[in-house]
Amino acid sequence: MKRQIATLGYMLVCGLCLCGMSAEAQQATKTAPEIVRSSCYMCHSTQGNNPDLGFIPRLAAQNQTYIEEQLKAFRDGSRADPPAMIYMWPIVQALSESQIKQTAEWFASQPPPTPFPPSAAASEGKEIFLHGVLDSDVPACASCHGEKAYGNGIFPRLAGQNSQYLLAQLLYFRSGVRNDKNADIMKQVALHLTDSQMNAVADYLSSL
Ligand code: HEC
Ligand code: HEC
């Protein structure tokens, strides 16, 4: 009898704990696919292979370390371009460290995004990507992002990324609103690129 009462008491306490669990605590117990389905898929799609939606990046096969770094940059406010502030800042406030890791791992392990058809400017873009622009001190993008633009670690994958998004980011590096701790190199690179060179290289990358 005593034991039954104790068990009952235990169940009651546990029940109370579960009912009274904050939204934050409930969020903390979700698995990666659950977080993605409740908080990310509306914009990035579940597998991160969203069709061209202008300023929304594809996350499929993006490098895990890079994704984690960006989520932290949204959280600490150092990535401060307008779409980042409007769309990503509120979302990352609700993510714990382990959820940042979980969602990054999820998107990194999805199949690569489907390439977009190349535009007429893509061949000029390929030249810039592989060899840089000698006259204006632009280094070969491939030296950091890799020959196939798959990236590595903090260097993002650019292959198959939405071209409008890529172009926007190059402009944000140039104006300095994207100013997270790994952005210094790109701020320099973007300063030396013209708008039409940015456009060409973005078009090429989206076709890979
Ligand atoms: C309401 C739309 C929306 C939702 C929901 C959303 N995002 Fe985003 N996300 C964006 C936009 C827009 C950007 C581009 C921000 C910019 O231009 O700086 C972005 C950028 C990112 C980036 C940077 C990608 C890169 O290549 O640098 C990551 C990583 C990211 N989101 C992860 C997530 C995760 C994880 C979730 C869910 C927990 C999520 N997002 C939910 C709209 C959204
Ligand atoms: C010396 C190394 C280096 C070179 C050269 C370089 N990049 Fe980058 N790139 C980086 C790093 C590091 C980041 C991540 C910056 C951050 O976290 O804010 C980055 C980020 C980017 C992004 C943002 C991607 C995203 O998903 O938001 C774009 C676009 C980009 N680079 C394009 C280029 C292009 C185009 C060139 C050549 C003209 C180039 N990069 C040359 C190191 C480099």
Domains of the chain: 28-108 (1.10.760.10), 122-206 (1.10.760.10)
Convert 4-38 into a string of H (helix), E (strand) and C (coil).
HHHHHHHHHHHHHHHHCCCHHHHHHCCCHHHHHHH
Distance 147 CA to ligand 1 centre (A): 26
Token couple for 23: 């939204």
On the 0-12 / 13-18 / 19+ scale of CB atoms within 10 A, 20 is: exposed
Q: What does pTM read for this prediction? A: 0.91
H runs (alpha helix) in 45-162 = 64-76, 82-83, 89-93, 97-108, 122-131, 142-145
Model confidence pLDDT, tens digit, residues 3-44: 444 443 444 344 444 444 555 555 567 899 999 999 999 999
Model confidence pLDDT, tens digit, residues 33-80: 999 999 999 999 999 999 877 899 999 999 999 999 999 999 999 999
Q: Measured from the CA of 57, which atom of ligand 2 is nearest?
A: 26
Distance 6 CA to ligand 2 centre (A): 61
Model confidence pLDDT, tens digit, residues 146-183: 999 999 999 999 999 999 999 999 999 999 999 999 99
Q: Measured from the CA of 69, which atom of ligand 2 is nearest?
A: 17
pLDDT level of residue 205 (50, 70, 90 thresholds): very high
